[in-house]
Amino acid sequence: MARHVAPPRQTDLRLRPTPRLNPQPRVVGGLPDAPPPPPQQAVRVGGQIKEPKKLKTVNPVYPDIAKQARVQGVVILEATISPQGKVTDIKVLRGIPLLDQAALDAVRQWVYTPTLLNGVPVPVIMTVTVNFKLS
């Protein structure tokens, strides 16, 4: 019995592109056309990130009990400013118990210019100082 042997298969020797697992555009011999997208998380002011300019200031209301106790001093806060320039998050870094809430209430109403990173508004974290001085 003669065995039937299939003729040899012809292989396609043309080059085919290999599928890419990472759909990022390939950059050869230079820089990509666009800067990387801005971070989604808030960035700290400093270095190339400039502090935003304050557009609206609301002075704190001096608490009566603090006036009677002749309490004065500085409350230091850490504020997160949204891409729209509004204070979205705030916490006391160093405070005076009788003055902390008045400082928080005032700074929450402040408005800033948007901070740009690569031309795109981004949220920023910055330190804010509120002075309380009796007159």
Please tell me the least confidently modeled range out of 19-23, 58-62, 99-103, 114-118: 19-23
Q: Is residue 4 part of a domain?
A: no
In a domain, 31, yes or no: no
Q: What is the pLDDT of residue 118?
A: 82
Range of 117's domain? 50-132
Give me the CATH number covering residue 102.
Answer: 3.30.2420.10
Q: How confident is the model at residue 7 (pLDDT cuts 50, 70, 90)?
A: low
Single pTM value for the model: 0.69
Q: How far is CA 37 from CA 16, 51, 62, 94, 122, in A?
A: 32, 20, 43, 34, 10
pLDDT digits (tens, 9 = 90+) for 23-39: 666 656 555 566 666 55
Q: Is residue 25 part of a domain?
A: no
**107 inside domain:** yes
pLDDT tens digits for range 42-56: 888 888 788 899 999
